[in-house]
Amino acid sequence: MRSCLWPLFYSFSCLLVSISANTVIQLDDTNIDALFKNNELVFVNFYADWCRFSQMLAPVFAEGSDLIAKDFPAGNGKIAFAKVDCDRQTAIAQKYKVNKYPTLKLFVYGEPIKREYRGQRSAEAFDKFIRDQLASPIVKKETFEEMDAISDEKRNMLIYIADESSNNYKNVLKAASQLKSDCNWYVMSGPAAEPYRKDGEDVIYFRQPMRESSDVPFTGLTMADSLTEWARDLCVPRVRVLTFENAEELTEEGIPFLILFHHPDDHETPAKFLEQVNYQLSNDRDTVNALTADGIKFAHPLHHLGKSANDLPLIAIDSFKHMYLFKHDVKTNLGDEGLLKQFVDDLQSGKLHREFHYGPDPVTQATKPQVAGQENVNRGGAPAPPPKTKDPTSPPESIFKQLKPSHNRYTVLKDEL
């Protein structure tokens, strides 16, 4: 019965789309840049025609667009609803790392916010979500005393600017919209801010939690990309805490996990891990997500690696295909020069995967083996052939790939991650 009714449902959905989708703009490479440039917020539905969840969402998304259009009609410069046919616009889908259908992303001043929309899929929920986004992520303060009294339990950005209608402030809004969940943002403007601007320039100060160090100034507000990058480096911790609540969200960033599993009573090792990530992996923010995890709560990944709470602390990489274990003793070797960096580089070069299958890579006389006891040198100086094994080993399958979005809401591509 269900299969017989499906064509009727699909036809009815198409009818609803034809009736109410006039406010949803079809995007392609000829109009996407202009739409982002001319609207403060653009809510985009990335879909595929063959995907049944996309088919079900289309009329609901269109209805939400119509609700918003009652107060913010097309061309208002404030809000637009749009859609991308990912089969036809593959370059756009790839640019925004769409790997499941349908995906809903909000763009603020042309930039996608970090977290995709994951709320209720109803016209009313879309309407509320968009209206909530219209609230400024920046809180206005009138005096320096108000600014100085701001709670310092969280990371804060303190803005002193001449004019809130300027392009500088628009650039700040872009950064604040991207990072409002990571930092609190406050502004003083006009004559009251003049004594606190830096040499006559608009300025932002980053304030560490608990004021652990002096406020860090930034005056390049004319450069939107540089401003956002500067703010991201300060607002988003270089090492984050992995929890069951944020794990799925972190997988959406598409970057392999470098995870320190530790006992919850062990505070020394996470501090040392942070120190070494900052020192050895300062240029690898886009290569791996450095995380710490409670090894008691995350016992399942440890079991998958053949380890238990008795083996803590340990470090592993989850590439979303396989898991790889840091082969050195974390307590004694974490601070050794370059070991953590080499571990990450070996993932990127494919060495970790290759050595799981065939054993240690061959080395030349001029190459110092990475790990004692793993020498495999051809005495003539030429690379030795890889050792032959009857049954090549395989690394454990990824655990965190299993946290990808629900198949009850998305069609996930077969080659995701």
Q: Give the architecture (CATH level 2) of 138-235.
A: 3-Layer(aba) Sandwich (3.40)
Q: How far is CA 68 from the centre of its chain?
A: 28
163-173 per-position pLDDT tens digit: 999 999 989 99
DSSP per residue over 251-277, as a string?
A: HTT---EEEEEE-TT--HHHHHHHHHH
CATH (residue range 239-403): 3.40.30.10
Contact assessment for residue 81 and residue 43, using Cβ atoms and an 8 Å cutoff = yes
191 preceded by a cis bond (ω within 30 of 0): no
What pLDDT score does 378 carry? Answer: 38
What pLDDT score does 403 carry? Answer: 58
39-52 per-position pLDDT tens digit: 989 999 999 999 99
Q: pTM higher than 0.75 for the full model?
A: no
How sure is the predictor about 363, in pLDDT bands with cuts at 50, 70 and 90?
low
Greater model confidence, 400 or 263: 263
Judged against a pLDDT cut of 60, whether residue 295 lies above it is answered with yes
Judged against a pLDDT cut of 70, whether residue 98 lies above it is answered with yes
99-136 per-position pLDDT tens digit: 789 999 999 888 888 778 888 999 999 999 999 998 88
E strands, 134-244, in order: 138-140, 156-161, 184-189, 203-207, 216-218, 239-241
pLDDT average, residue stretch 277-306: 91
Judged against a pLDDT cut of 60, whether residue 312 lies above it is answered with yes
Domain ranges of the chain: 2-133, 138-235, 239-403
Q: What is the DSSP letter of 115?
A: S
DSSP per residue over 120-152, as a string?
A: --SHHHHHHHHHHHTS-SEEE-SSHHHHHTS--
Class of domain 2-133: alpha beta
- Side-chain half-sphere CA neighbours of 306 within 13 A: 8
Judged against a pLDDT cut of 60, whether residue 367 lies above it is answered with no
- Give the least confident one: 182-186, 238-242, 356-360, 380-384: 380-384
140-149 per-position pLDDT tens digit: 999 999 998 9
313-338 per-position pLDDT tens digit: 999 999 888 899 999 999 999 989 89
242-264 per-position pLDDT tens digit: 998 888 778 877 789 999 999 99
What pLDDT score does 408 carry? Answer: 58
Contact assessment for residue 360 and residue 317, using Cβ atoms and an 8 Å cutoff = no
- Does this chain's domain 2-133 share its CATH topology with 138-235? yes
What pLDDT score does 112 carry? Answer: 87
Distance (Å, whole) CA 78 – CA 130: 11
Greater model confidence, 412 or 209: 209
Phi, psi for residue 189 in degrees, rounded to 5 = -140, 170
